[in-house]
Structure 1
Amino acid sequence: VADIDDGVKKLDIEEEGDEMNKTISELLLNDGTKMQHRYTELTCTEREILPMDTQVFQVEDGTLYYYKYSSPQKLYINVNGKKVNANLPEFWLGGVGVIGNALYFMTESKIYKCSHSPSDEISVDLMRVINHERAYCGALLSEESGGVKMVYRMNEGPEHGIIVDVPKEELDGLRIAGLHRRTIVYVSPTHNENESLPRLIGNVLIIKFRHASGARHHCYTPEDASPFIYISSESSLITLNTDTMKFMPMLHFKNVSIGSIAGIRNGEITLIGKNEIGEVKLLTAQLPDGYMLSEDPAEPEMYCERL
């Protein structure tokens, strides 16, 4: 979070409960396969000021987990204004991410699951020991054997892995950002607007998006029931509908530079943003209609066509 771009304007925050102020700016709109230039401007609601060394993760039931990654590291939830701390392993946590209603992470070649009980106690359970596996942000692992690379979630093993079935040269300069609907999501910022497009090749979804050099970006992949993948880029939110393989018109967050997306629940996005004086804040905003999973979604017969 400390690396969020400093070049932003003063944070404009509405009081909690006020109606969200939206200004629609109409510019140029193309067919949706490339980045769209129509955007909706949203004003966020401030929830709290965060320490510079803290990340936030929202699990399925809406609970927020706070991870202080500087020494001494801490993982906690807030219950009635009080911090409930998890008993963490001694070493630095890697690959931290949400799966369902729990937080998973790797440390010292061990996978742990962190969850909270109805009594609001936090348990940290050792799931398994890993061998020759690599951890990625978002609770992901990969294993390569015999020239074949597989990617899977930390609550699963290699036997549930998705094979990276594209040539390595196709993935040069790209990074693994998530799993969504049995596809491996790779993302890559680009300066060339003509390269801003999604490509689905075999089991791999490659998303290239226009992004300023050196600025922070973050990819959020929700549960498979949702067709959307979200990427924060500076003050903007890029939304890809994987049912249509088209980008939605871009959303812009007024006067805030986005560091990461903590979660999306009931149409509300929770994110971490930074203002011009260096304050890091936990913010929320209501997503417009069409940018989130409906309350009673129809199960698609087929997610999207593969190349």
Structure 2
Amino acid sequence: MADFYRAEKLNDRMTAVISLTGEIMYLISGEKKSVLIDTCVGAGNLRAFVETLTDKPLTVLLTHGHIDHAMGAPEFADGCEIYMNHADAELYLRMNDVEGRKGYVMAGLGGKMPEGLEDTFLPPTELDFKDLKDGDSFDLGGTTVEVYALPGHTPGSMVMLVPEERILILGDACNNATFLFDGDSLTVEEYRENLIEVQNRLEGRFDSTCLCHHVIKASKDMINSAINVCDDIMKGNTDDVPFDFMGQQAFVAKKASECFVRLDGGEGNIIYNKEKIHKKEVTR
């Protein structure tokens, strides 16, 4: 079987773990412990691969409960603490179907399953996740991982700061194609408020961001760029390119290439549902 994962060392503390389908996980190591951020689709023997990169006690942190980020968590259930925000618990269970995960991999690889990979898919597994909460901090020994809530993409989406490296790992909470259109996502207006809150809380504490799909590094302005895209959506100042994803219809706010590089040279983009732009008014 061809290797489903490869590693790219970013600095003395951080290594990116990249799947064939383009998901990017992050292994962060201190003097005493390591943290793995995200676990991909639950295939390809991720734990065995990670254990070639570190021999330190391992904790798993999930940015959110989606099919391409959380499904490998059961592989670490023996001997590792696994954290996910409980707001995404039901979402995790809904995403855990094996055939759905196989379909996701094949869609990302042009309809072809790599030889031998199919036999490595984990069965659907319920886990007793530890609740990953806003403000949590993990001391790895000279290296710290701080956790902040950034709901929008999902109710339980979290971002992780490595202050010693001045890097903010954004997961899918904010990137070049933030999905904000399905039944689990918040409205654009709510998402904008959450972006502003995180931006204000972390102002001056990071110099770059890391993403979890295709591109590792992005600028420190990614969150601010996403705020500007939210503003444009709310003002109707968007390109509104039709987008079809697994039968769901949405719109890409800013024209972009197939790899989601914005054609206007900007950074950050949102794929949204026109029925979920503004917060719903609360009636009494």
- Check whether TM > 0.5: no
Q: Which has the larger radius of gyration?
A: 1
Higher percent of residues as strand: 1
For CA contacts below 8 A with separation 6 or more, give which structure has more relative contact order.
1
Higher helix proportion, which one? 2
